[in-house]
Amino acid sequence: MARRQRIFARAAVIAALLLVRSTSADVLPDDRADLFYSKYSGGGMDITGESATVRKKFTENIAVEANYFIDKVSGASIDVLSQASVIKDTRKQKTGTIEYLHDKTTYTASYISSTERDYVSNTASFSLSQDMFGDLTTVSLGYAKTNDRVGENNGTAWVPIIDWLGYAQTSSYTGGISQIITKNFIAGLNLQVITDSGYLANPYRSVRYLDSSNPKGYSLASQVYPDTHTSTAIQVQGKYYLPYRAAVTASYRYYTDTWGVVGNTVELDYTHPIRNLWILEGRARYYKQGAATFYSDLFPFANAQNFEARDQNLAALDNYTLGAKATYAFLPDGWKFFKRATVTLDISRIRFNYTDFRNIKYYGVPQYPPGTEPLYYFNATVSQIYISMFF
């Protein structure tokens, strides 16, 4: 499960930061409660997620939020089917957040604790958001520190034997500007630098190398990663209110890191409300990246390099996403102490294509010589449904 929790913690931190940014710093958001269910199916994996969130203002200046997230993983990706048994695991994450509003500045502190049997992660974060220049500009800054303990299950999915492999530390620095350009147009710029150190490889993925003594023609070995990693990502985005009541959003992100990965992302989104009952949204996203410098689908011999990876995340790849989302206000005028309530259904379809990661799941003897197997690809479907109640 390596990396998954680290990513989840970072996502939660960004969500907390977004919560601040989306409100403008003059007033804290409404009290609300959310119930969330998600399902991911793709690449041999099935993952369900369930989440509950409660947010409450105690004064006009102080709000707290608590979130509990549990996700269950079953199945096995291409990597696991190439070398190991199927996966069955549960991850539990607790998040506590406190916000303090002072004048035009909102301060946010949060703590995230996440556990699964082969991975433990704890993150502390702090961020602030400041309105300035006649409230035309909102500046956000954030810092997060994560400590992880990384393990590997060398037993089975049902009788686990966990070997603890090491620790990893992550520091994340974020900065963002949101700028009102005209009465119909708002622009944003986000920058994030992340540094990692420690055990950074995914223990469930392996390199492969040519080996004539193996009937398949290749053998598998452990990945060897550098123990440091620094990434920089910058995103520009714009949102425009159309002549009728609808909005279109465009964004571009450039990514680079010290492992040689360079990625480009473009995304378009169209949002269309219908009266005050529905908000419909459609989106398209395209992503493309180059491989890490120490990545290879097939090394010429064992220990061919100091650092070796065959993690599909580090391969050259592209993917595209089509998504649709519908929000329905089923209590537009409120009920008892609820001011309003909405239910949202969100479905995304993603196609992943790898240009130097081959599918060795079904091949090897003797249909395809090593290195000539078909390139790997798969489709994934992500479904989300959630209820939000504002009070």
Provide the β-strand partners of residue 238: 187, 250
Could you give the 3-state DSSP secondary structure of residue 137? strand
Please state the closest distance from residue 181 (CB atom) to other proteins, in A: 8
Closest to other proteins by CB, 34 vs 227, is: 34
Closest to other proteins by CB, 214 vs 353, is: 353
Which residue, 310, 289, 299, is CA-closest to 201? 310
CA angle centred on 18, ends 99 and 16, rounded to 5° = 45
Encoded tokens for 324: 């649709």
Distance (Å, whole) CA 163 – CA 154: 7
Please state the closest distance from residue 87 (CB atom) to other proteins, in A: 4
Closest to other proteins by CB, 194 vs 298, is: 194
Closest to other proteins by CB, 8 vs 218, is: 8
Please state the closest distance from residue 300 (CB atom) to other proteins, in A: 23
Task: Give yes or no for a contact between 288 and 242, defined as CB atoms under 8 angstroms apart.
Answer: no
Distance (Å, whole) CA 190 – CA 195: 17
Closest to other proteins by CB, 52 vs 62, is: 52
Please state the closest distance from residue 366 (CB atom) to other proteins, in A: 29
CA angle centred on 316, ends 310 and 321, rounded to 5° = 115
Measured over the CA atoms of residue 25, residue 342, residue 70 and residue 38, the dihedral's sign is negative
Beta strands in 117-225 (DSSP E): 119-132, 137-153, 162-180, 185-198, 206-210, 218-222
Please state the closest distance from residue 179 (CB atom) to other proteins, in A: 10
Please state the closest distance from residue 340 (CB atom) to other proteins, in A: 11
Closest to other proteins by CB, 217 vs 297, is: 297
